Amino acid sequence: MITAEAAEAVPRRLEQARGAEGSELVPPTAFAVRVGGFEGPFDLLLSLIAKHRIEVTELALHTVTDDFIAHVRAQGPGWDLDEATSFLVIAATLLDLKAARLLPDGSVEDEEDLALLEARDVLFARLLQYRAFKEVSALLDGMLADAARRRARDVGLEPWLAELLPEVLLGLGPQEFAAIAESALAPRPPEPGVSVAHVHAPAVSVREQAAILVERLRRRGTLTFRALTEDAGSTLVVVGRFLALLELYRDGVVSFEQAAALGDLTVRWSPPDDAGAGAADARAIAARAVTDEFAGVPAPPEEA
């Protein structure tokens, strides 16, 4: 016989516990943020494979790539950056694999092909690993539910036995006790993970750099790249200004001259008549010139 509690606790299925009925399966005590009903990219990928009735090991994953991409796209904004990244990494790998399949029977002598094969193997390996843990987690769920049908005796000592207990020895005075309270109540320090602060230099907005360049070039007409970047605080800013120049060049508002290879690059302000002659503000020109391609750079959490 099975209690309502235990029975309710058990039926967690694997792949089909998804989609239409998925929401019912989220227990009331759910504490995880779920992305569109999925616990991460592997979970989604497994579901899609199941939907297309493909064995994971058949290496025919390209058929689910479109689904995966569509799902990622459908999420729209509102994703946690970490989560979105992990989805995108897998989407990119899937796209690579699909692209490889579309090419005429390719040889694998190419280094890129080898890298692709390896990326595929790693993705499959990780997917299989995830699937294994997912399967045993369902078994654990069953074991937990089964064990929950038994309750341990957990009662206080009979009074005569409680009296046999030796006197408690606190072994400390009020001051030491207060010190313990302070350390116990103090906020716990965050997990000492690997700091990535040094990796994420403050983001540089190409659009802002373009505005600076336009302003200077309009005033001076011609400047070397060296002069345009001598006040750049970091390599990242130099790169940002270089990208901005490329954008401005594409838009036809600047031209380049370089006398010799590796020599100084001279940048000339040469806008078409309508753009340069008027009182157009530098930011507006920059904004027009620099397309969305670079505009989406997220603002840094805080300027260093």
Footprint of another protein on residues 238-277 (CB under 8 A)?
A: none
Footprint of another protein on 153-172 (CB under 8 A): 153-158, 160-162, 164-172
Nearer to another protein, 72 or 289 (CB): 72
User: Using CB atoms within 10 A of its CB, is residue 48 exposed (0-12), middle (13-18) or buried (19+)?
Assistant: buried
Residue selected from 173, 296, 298, 301 as contacting another protein according to rule CB under 8 A: 173
Q: Is 184 in the site for another protein (CB under 8 A)?
A: yes
CA-based nearest residue to 271, from 282, 260, 259:
282
10 Å CB burial of residue 93 (0-12, 13-18, 19+) is buried
Among 77, 109, 188, 196, the residue binding another protein under the rule CB under 8 A is 188
Nearer to another protein (CB atom), residue 49 or residue 244: 49
Q: What angle do CA 126, 129, 132 make, to 5 degrees?
A: 150
Per CB under 8 A, which region of 177-185, 228-236, 255-263, 296-304 contacts another protein?
Answer: 177-185
Buried b (16+ CB within 10 A) or exposed e, 285-298: bbbebbeeebeeee
3-state secondary structure of 224: strand
| Shortest distance (Å) from residue 75 CB to another protein | 10
**Residue of the chain from 106, 149, 233, 250 that contacts another protein (CB under 8 A):** 149
From CA 233, how far away is CA 244, in angstroms rounded? Answer: 16
Nearest-angstrom CA–CA distance, 225 and 243: 12
Residues numbered 118 to 137 that lie near another protein (CB under 8 A) are 118, 121-122, 124-126, 128-137
Q: Determine the straight-line distance between the first and last CA of the chain, rounded to whole angstroms.
A: 64
DSSP state string for 242-301: HHHHHHHHHTTSEEEEESSTTSPEEEEE---HHHHHS---HHHHHHHHS-HHHHTPPPPS
* Count of residues touching another protein (by CB under 8 A): 127
Within residues 55-94, the interface with another protein by CB under 8 A covers 55-57, 63, 66-67, 70-71, 74, 80, 82-83, 86, 90
Q: Which residues, 21 to 60, sit near another protein by CB under 8 A?
A: 21-22, 25-27, 29-35, 39-44, 46-51, 53-57
Q: Which is nearer to another protein, 104 or 174 (CB)?
A: 174
Q: By CB under 8 A, which span of 3-11, 200-208, 237-245, 255-263 interacts with another protein? A: 3-11
Across the beta sheet with 265-269, the strand order is 222-224, 265-269, 254-258
Residue 174 contacts another protein per CB under 8 A? yes
Q: How many residues does the chain have?
A: 304
Nearer to another protein, 110 or 135 (CB): 135
CB of 240 to another protein, least distance (A): 30
Nearer to another protein, 103 or 168 (CB): 168
Work out whether 185 is an interface residue with another protein (CB under 8 A).
yes
Q: Rule CB under 8 A: is residue 1 a binding residue for another protein?
A: yes
Q: Is 13 in the site for another protein (CB under 8 A)?
A: yes
